[in-house]
Amino acid sequence: MKIIVSGGAGFIGSHLVDELISKGMDVHILDNLVTGQIEYVNPQAHMYVVDICSEEARKIIMEVRPDAVFHLAAQADVGKSVQYPKHDADINIIGTINILEACHKAKVKKFIFASTSAVYGNLNKEILSEDEVTIPASYYGLSKLTAESYIRLFYELYRQPYTILRYANVYGPRQKPKGEGGVVSVFFDRIKNGGNINVHGDGKQTRDFIYVKDIISANLAALTYGSQETIQISTSQKTSINEILSFITDIHGIKVVRDFSAPREGDIKHSCLCNKKAQHHLKWKPIYSIEDGLKETYAFHIASESNTNKEKIYNKSIIRNRVDN
């Protein structure tokens, strides 16, 4: 099977590419490397350094004619979306339309889209289903919700098959230590560098934290199941920021010092997603507990410092074989 992954050099995308290749698939990556990292790109993948909004990206899709496209490339920083809403919309809306049009012309059999729990905004509910009203509290959430609408309309007008996956808060190895979405990585990075941990708000805000390997298995399931569905990928378990810090303290073995600051504009107080639809439609359920996922992520951060220079040297030596002009 021939697959294109946009954002395949990023945190989630690089893990997805690795898994697809391990299953013998022919994988092509579209990534402009603004946030993606070349050292995480699987050497067996075909790498195109290209912007998803460009005509070049469209041409690549039409030339490769993949069986499926995983569209993960995005501007995913909530804070940046509030500060630069046009830039957010250009990437998350216009970029998605560009990829969709190319998929339609290339007769792609499945378009799988990475969406987000941010589409719901600050709904005051214990747990959210896919049928909830969507009132985004940030331009990021709004841009993802708008992209979802374009995907559904492309199916209505052109019968372009799709599955929309709304992720809970994803964490794991390779995640950059920045933004709300990367809060676990931020905490581990601060610990590694010997600094205090800054907590926005009182730390009582809760999220549905899901390990990246569970996200990858859900994406693979979407190749076969969940057509024309919008499905939440989550643990259905809520965990507070303070609880995450307690787990990290236990794993690290040394108490971490917390500095509390004001909440950030656009942040959501509580978010937990029901995963019953994913279990039914995708035949999927998460297998990682928060403790096990954090332990693997901690091990990655501890090992990454010594491995970074070695990986960069290796990847520079093979980059010419991986980047198609």
Strand 239-240 relative to strand 206-207, pairing: antiparallel
> How many Å apart are CA 30 and CA 123, to the nearest integer?
35
If DSSP codes are grouped into helix, strand and coil, which group holds residue 257?
coil
Q: Say if CB 220 and CB 19 are below 8 A apart.
A: yes
Q: What is the DSSP string of 276-295?
A: HHHHHHS-------HHHHHH
Catalytic choice (140, 162, 171, 211): 140
Taking each helix axis from N to C end, the angle separating 139-158 and 95-105, rounded to the nearest 10 degrees, works out to 20
H or E segment to which residue 251 belongs? helix 241-252
**Catalytic (active site) residue 225:** no
**DSSP 8-state symbol, 80:** H
Catalytic residues: 140
